Chains A and B, each alone.
Chain A
Amino acid sequence: MPVKTEEMILNMGPQHPSTHGVLRLELLLEGEIIKGVKPHIGYLHRCFEKHAEAMTYPQVIPYVDRLDYLSSMYNEFGYVTAVEKLLGIEVPQRVEYIRVIMGELQRIASHLVAIGTYGADLGAFTPFLFAFRDREKILSLFEITCGARLLYNYIWIGGLSHDLHPDFVRLAREFIPYFRPKIKEMNDLLSYNKIFVERTANVGILPPETAINFGVSGPNLRGSGLKWDLRRNDPYSVYDKFDFNIPVGEGRMGTVGDCWDRYFVRILEMEESLKIIEQALDQLPEGDVTSAIPKRVKPPIGQVYARVENPRGELGYFIISDGSVNPFRVKVRAPSFISLSVMDELCRGHMIADVIAILGSIDIVLGEIDR
């Protein structure tokens, strides 16, 4: 009698230690080999887009914080960029510089979480705590700026809620030489570790064509070797005034576009962010940060799409205005959502353990996917 074998369905999540939130992955398994992955989302759905229609434009900002809770500053940055474009207002130079500094600090903080949790997913727990130790320093910087550590409501339409704390520039300057050696430490501990490389190199290869077809952006796209960064390709704010590189995946440990490349692009980006912060602190102009804040935000009838390079990729806001104080529609193009859609493509033929490695390497935040 022939032995009957069948594929097994394994639900990974929603309560699972490494689905980075409440994500359920339906895995179709043959033994330990993945035949297909179906992500089930919506466990964190909070009706953000519907809520936004009932809010005035400035009232949406705290909600935007909660989308991708690891990069709240950048979500605000993107949203106000869109509304300012709709309103057609110019913001003072100082505001732009502070936004860039905050945005880049946020990028480092966000990448630290991505890198740290990635190590934890692969069984290395110590890098995770090292990353959080350094992130703590950045959160303290945010705390003295606006009083909050995670959800800031700091970047307002036309300006900022507060000017910088008098100590901020000094502390931020101290942070840069503190943090540079920590990147090297992370490389020694994790990036070049033989076991880590074995686990991530040649795993979950994302070819550039597939990445473009799915609309993947950010470090995941750059990990596939494409030099595409909105800060350079479609400059917004004052990003055209800084000198920085755009790191791309080179396939140093395996094939271009594997998990290690995506991981290492984030390490390199932290270095570049430090460069930007350094230059922005040097050039920081004086001025009033609240002068351009409009008393009443009532944009003309029309629609706008603005996009920024969030730590996870292209974060776009599509806003339709019907001329009232409430937006008619706010649509978010969430980079994590698009990155998650490529999971099935990446996982097929790999093993269960690789699902964790791949999911960690595309660095999703469920708050943004479910909205």
Chain B
Amino acid sequence: MIYDFLLKLTGSEIAAGFIQSLLPLFVFILPFALIAVLLERKVSAHMQDRLGPMRVGYHGIFQTVADILKLMQKEDIVTDNSDKALFNIAPVLVFTGSYAAFAAIPFSGAFIGSNIDLGLFFIVAVSGLVVAGILMAGWASNNKYTLLGAMRSAAQVISYEIPTILVIITIVMITGTLNLYTLSELQTGHFWNWMIFGGPSTGLIKVAFIPFMIIGFVIIYISTLAEVNRTPFDIPEAESELVSGYHTEYSGMKFAMFFLAEYANMFAVSAIVAAVFFGGYQSPFGYLGNSLGISWFIPIEQFFWFTFKGIFFVLVQMWLRWTLPRLRVDQLMALCWKYLIPIAFVNLLIVGLITVL
């Protein structure tokens, strides 16, 4: 494991733990955000008959780097009547919430920041911190638009956590674990062992699970989409209504923090979906490392597959964003409370019955 390796290398537990906790940020989140922002702009551009960024580097590949340099140079404006303390804490808190989620995400068998038994629950719970940050940002800016955006966001994120958790409970009932490492190991082998295809169970039960797993997947995908405020659920930052919601008053690096958190979050929720339903870091076809007999190659392959699955779902999010219009607040709530939660409940009940049988 990475921790043991670092321990051997540095000889100090504190240093090893420190380096390990920073790894996802520098190895993953920052490069991912750089790539994802560019990807989003390019994907949307090509969907819309445009070219997108073309000037900075070949086909604009350094556009995000240029943007970040610009954001760092910008003046950090704090409005006069804002609540300064909260205004400064809010972006940090939002970023912390999405960063902390990466601690439990199983990138590969050898690299999980913290292999805790409550991994799944930890991610869901720590994402809740984001809501506090958003509310703070909205309140502290002392602006009606930001306040409205923050309130909408809080209501939305809290509501949509319920169907997410209901679906996760369904999975837990089948697998009996909340540990993401164990969960991924259970789905090993080929892709028909993934939870979406009934998981590791066999025979008739496996076949019986499939339709309910697909329903569960659709529900969790919709609700995670809402949790990260992406279209069609981007109501908190509805550009045409609320200018840009809770982060309207932010500029410079604080704005960049919100932006970074958004993209980190996009990957985090995609990672949950991939880990729970699509075999986590498991390869769909078996490992090259196994057939070649190179054991150290397997974690690298696993890292590749996990990132691949995560980015695939991020791309689906982008695709939806540039295709669909936005729902209205009450319609959004109706979708959650009138459709997703009852369906998730029934799904839970049926899966429970099948498990008992």
Residues in chain A within 8 A of chain B (CB atoms) = 8, 10, 16-18, 32, 119-126, 129-130, 133, 189-190, 193, 195-196, 198-199, 351-354, 356
The answer to the question of B323 belonging to the interface, with a C-beta cut-off of 8 Å to chain A, is: yes
How far does the Cβ of A349 sit from chain B's closest Cβ, in whole Å? 13
How far does the Cβ of B182 sit from chain A's closest Cβ, in whole Å? 39
Task: Check A129–B324 contact: CB distance below 8 A.
Answer: no
User: Residue of A at shortest CB range from B334?
Assistant: A198
User: Given A122, A130, A189, A354, which contacts B326 in the complex, CB threshold below 8 Å?
Assistant: A122
How far does the Cβ of A24 sit from chain B's closest Cβ, in whole Å? 14
Determine the chain B residues whose CB is within 8 A of the CB of A196 once the complex forms. Answer: 325
Task: Check B238–A129 contact: CB distance below 8 A.
Answer: no
Task: Check B324–A123 contact: CB distance below 8 A.
Answer: yes
User: Given A18, A198, A351, which contacts B329 in the complex, CB threshold below 8 Å?
Assistant: A351
User: Residue of B at shortest CB range from A127?
Assistant: B325
Report 6 cross-chain contacts, Cβ distance below 8 Å, ordered by A residue: A10-B144, A123-B238, A123-B324, A133-B49, A195-B325, A351-B330
The answer to the question of B241 belonging to the interface, with a C-beta cut-off of 8 Å to chain A, is: yes
Determine the chain B residues whose CB is within 8 A of the CB of A123 once the complex forms. Answer: 231-232, 234, 238-240, 324-326
How far does the Cβ of B154 sit from chain A's closest Cβ, in whole Å? 14
If A123-B231, A126-B323, A195-B232 touch, whether A18 touches B328 (CB-CB below 8 Å) is no
Task: Check B323–A189 contact: CB distance below 8 A.
Answer: yes
Determine the chain B residues whose CB is within 8 A of the CB of A121 once the complex forms. Answer: 240
User: Residue of A at shortest CB range from B145?
Assistant: A10
Per-position binary interface string of chain B over residues 123-159, scored 1 when its CB falls under 8 Å from any chain A CB and 0 otherwise: 0000000000000000000001000100000000000
User: Residue of B at shortest CB range from A117?
Assistant: B240
If A8-B144, A351-B329, A354-B328 touch, whether A130 touches B49 (CB-CB below 8 Å) is yes
Task: Check B49–A199 contact: CB distance below 8 A.
Answer: no
If A17-B240, A195-B232 touch, whether A126 touches B322 (CB-CB below 8 Å) is yes
Residues in chain B within 8 A of chain A (CB atoms) = 44, 47-50, 144, 148, 231-232, 234-235, 238-241, 243, 322-331
Task: Check B238–A353 contact: CB distance below 8 A.
Answer: yes
Known: A32-B329, A126-B47, A195-B326. 8 other contacts (CB 8 A): A8-B144, A122-B326, A130-B48, A190-B325, A195-B325, A195-B327, A351-B329, A352-B148
Determine the chain A residues whose CB is within 8 A of the CB of B234 once the complex forms. Answer: 123
Given the complex of chains A and B, what is the CA–CA distance between A246 and B326 in angstroms? 31
How far does the Cβ of B315 sit from chain A's closest Cβ, in whole Å? 16
Determine the chain B residues whose CB is within 8 A of the CB of A17 once the complex forms. Answer: 239-240, 243
Task: Check B144–A122 contact: CB distance below 8 A.
Answer: no
Determine the chain B residues whose CB is within 8 A of the CB of A124 once the complex forms. Answer: 323-326
Given the complex of chains A and B, what is the CA–CA distance between A209 and B136 in angstroms? 48
User: Residue of A at shortest CB range from B331?
Assistant: A198
How far does the Cβ of B8 sit from chain A's closest Cβ, in whole Å? 51
Task: Check B325–A122 contact: CB distance below 8 A.
Answer: yes
Given the complex of chains A and B, what is the CA–CA distance between A8 and B144 in angstroms? 10
User: Residue of B at shortest CB range from A357?
Assistant: B328
Given the complex of chains A and B, what is the CA–CA distance between A193 and B331 in angstroms? 15
Determine the chain A residues whose CB is within 8 A of the CB of B326 once the complex forms. Answer: 122-124, 195, 199
Given the complex of chains A and B, what is the CA–CA distance between A16 and B327 in angstroms? 20
Task: Check A18–B241 contact: CB distance below 8 A.
Answer: yes
Nearest first, the 8 A-B pairs at minimum CB distance are: A123-B326, A18-B240, A124-B325, A129-B48, A122-B325, A121-B240, A123-B325, A353-B328
Given the complex of chains A and B, what is the CA–CA distance between A199 and B325 in angstroms? 9
User: Residue of B at shortest CB range from A11?
Assistant: B144
Given the complex of chains A and B, what is the CA–CA distance between A195 and B284 in angstroms? 35
Determine the chain A residues whose CB is within 8 A of the CB of B331 once the complex forms. Answer: 198-199
Determine the chain B residues whose CB is within 8 A of the CB of A133 once the complex forms. Answer: 49
Given the complex of chains A and B, what is the CA–CA distance between A122 and B324 in angstroms? 9
Given the complex of chains A and B, what is the CA–CA distance between A352 and B48 in angstroms? 28
Given the complex of chains A and B, what is the CA–CA distance between A195 and B326 in angstroms? 7
Determine the chain B residues whose CB is within 8 A of the CB of A16 once the complex forms. Answer: 243
Given the complex of chains A and B, what is the CA–CA distance between A353 and B241 in angstroms? 6
Given the complex of chains A and B, what is the CA–CA distance between A43 and B330 in angstroms? 33
User: Residue of A at shortest CB range from B231?
Assistant: A123
Determine the chain B residues whose CB is within 8 A of the CB of A18 once the complex forms. Answer: 240-241
Determine the chain A residues whose CB is within 8 A of the CB of B324 once the complex forms. Answer: 123-124, 193, 195
Determine the chain B residues whose CB is within 8 A of the CB of A122 once the complex forms. Answer: 240, 325-326
Given the complex of chains A and B, what is the CA–CA distance between A17 and B326 in angstroms? 15
Given the complex of chains A and B, what is the CA–CA distance between A125 and B40 in angstroms? 13
Given the complex of chains A and B, what is the CA–CA distance between A16 and B329 in angstroms? 20
If A8-B144, A10-B144, A133-B49 touch, whether A119 touches B325 (CB-CB below 8 Å) is yes
Determine the chain B residues whose CB is within 8 A of the CB of A352 once the complex forms. Answer: 148, 241
User: Residue of B at shortest CB range from A32?
Assistant: B329
Given the complex of chains A and B, what is the CA–CA distance between A130 and B47 in angstroms? 10
How far does the Cβ of A197 sit from chain B's closest Cβ, in whole Å? 10
Determine the chain B residues whose CB is within 8 A of the CB of A195 once the complex forms. Answer: 232, 324-327
How far does the Cβ of A5 sit from chain B's closest Cβ, in whole Å? 15
Task: Check B327–A198 contact: CB distance below 8 A.
Answer: yes
Task: Check B238–A125 contact: CB distance below 8 A.
Answer: no
How far does the Cβ of B77 sit from chain A's closest Cβ, in whole Å? 16
Given the complex of chains A and B, what is the CA–CA distance between A351 and B326 in angstroms? 14
Given the complex of chains A and B, what is the CA–CA distance between A16 and B243 in angstroms? 7
Task: Check B325–A129 contact: CB distance below 8 A.
Answer: no
Determine the chain A residues whose CB is within 8 A of the CB of B243 once the complex forms. Answer: 16-17
Given the complex of chains A and B, what is the CA–CA distance between A123 and B328 in angstroms? 10
User: Residue of B at shortest CB range from A125?
Assistant: B322
User: Residue of A at shortest CB range from B323?
Assistant: A126
How far does the Cβ of A211 sit from chain B's closest Cβ, in whole Å? 24
Task: Check A356–B322 contact: CB distance below 8 A.
Answer: no
Determine the chain A residues whose CB is within 8 A of the CB of B144 once the complex forms. Answer: 8, 10
